[in-house]
Structure 1
Amino acid sequence: MGLSTDDIMQLSLDLVDWDDVPGDSTTYVPGEDIESALVGIDLESPELQLANDQDFDLALAHHPAGDEARLEFTEVLDKQVEFMTNHGVPEDVAEEAAQGIRDNAEYGAHAANYRHNPSVAELLDQPYMNIHLAPDELGRRLFVEVVEELTADATVADLKAAFNDAFPEIRNAATDIETRVGDDANEVGEVAVHHAAGTNGGADVARAYFEHGVDTVIYIHVSAIDAAELREEFAGEEKNLVVTGHIASDAVGLNVLVDALEGEGVECTTFSGCDL
């Protein structure tokens, strides 16, 4: 007897010791007796047809694809504030830094066709779900473990080498770890891993870290505009923004979930980024 979609969601929560399903994760079409799953970073309408054509019991996406997971996405952005305050950023400063991210997420969700992908799955009667924050949290914890093993005088180059050594998903990716602000020769100093907060923090969150004692911020992605703004503002201050790569970094945590599912007897076929 296979797992249900409820079982799979609960498994993801158990892996991070959480009680409640985050707002960015949901089941669009429930399923029972799941013994096979098509798993990827992004599964939308074409991939749902593929899953249905190839008789997969479940289509399991990482990124939110519609309905509640998009409309309630702003709930998980409280993690932005939590991570900043954990590194000494005053709460009022952290709240202000995160406000633009919240606004962008809310406006974007309001404008999106949040019914598109779920409605396709419903017509196909294809069990379909996405699990976003819990795998990202698994990845974040692994990132923190690597950071904590760095020596006191470690450089940005040392940090990048350590991540490549630790994570085959990052090592094998077509993208490289990039130093978007700062220099590889700089010491990393105080490091903040800003991952598993819904999305990257942009210039505002990195600035809040830099202005309150953090020397190196790790994002998994950042825009060119935000990076340029930070480079100009912190030129000569040996502040570093290291970007590990969006899809490769998502795969780190998602593959932990895949391993757990396979341990429960669900045969997983990975693609769309988590097959690195």
Structure 2
Amino acid sequence: MDLNLKNKVTVITGPAKGMGRAVSLAFAREGATLVLAGRDTAAIEPVAAEARALGVQALVVACDMTDPVQADALAKETVEAFGRIDVLVNVAGGSGPIGKTGWETTADEFNDIVQLNMTGCFNTVRAVMPTMIGQRYGKVVNVGGTFGLKGRAGRLAYSASKWGLRGITKSFALEAGPHNINVNNVAPGMVDGPRFREKVCANLVEKHGITLDEAMTKHAQDYALRRVSTDEDIANACLFMASDVSRQMTGVDLPVDGGWAAL
């Protein structure tokens, strides 16, 4: 199926590694024009080079999305370079403290992850809205998490930030809908990769005295499909939500977790 994303100007935050890299290259394979934004431009450049090798334009922009001035500058630079903004995919985010109860979580730990996962996404969505409204077209995909659909012990700060992101997504969807703009939330479950293995699974290893392989299997057993998601699974969901195939979906939480949050 042709998702009709060729030449669509697509801003992606957090593109340097993991899900962000997979999302960036998935859009590149669809022929989208990329604007890759993040704090560490040196880490983003190799992804941009991979995208260009696939035959698409890829602009790298330095942006700390928690700073509203930099988010506005990202939108301005994108329009100056390509004349429009068709898609925004907010992948940038963090995990916060793992294995801490709410009362063990410090105020700084809580505020830091809320600032990144909620305020950062608010800033970028807010920044692209005037352009999308003016052209009467836009797709916003926020990458949340299933702990924002069901609470999780030991992940209070992260869970709170992703619950808050859902509210931001739904309110923007209601406000932007009359302007032909879709705003949706893709909610990954556990996604295999360094952060999952070295932080999440490592916490289980320490807590239960099991091996890393046993910890990974324990997580997989929580899901109906008995497997942990991959970066590509998340990228495919983002492609779907950014395309006109999903034109009648907005304000939606789409779990990509092998069957956990919705079952």
Q: TM-score, normalised by structure 1?
A: 0.26
Larger-Rg structure = 1
The structure with higher relative contact order (CA 8 Å, sep 6+) is 1
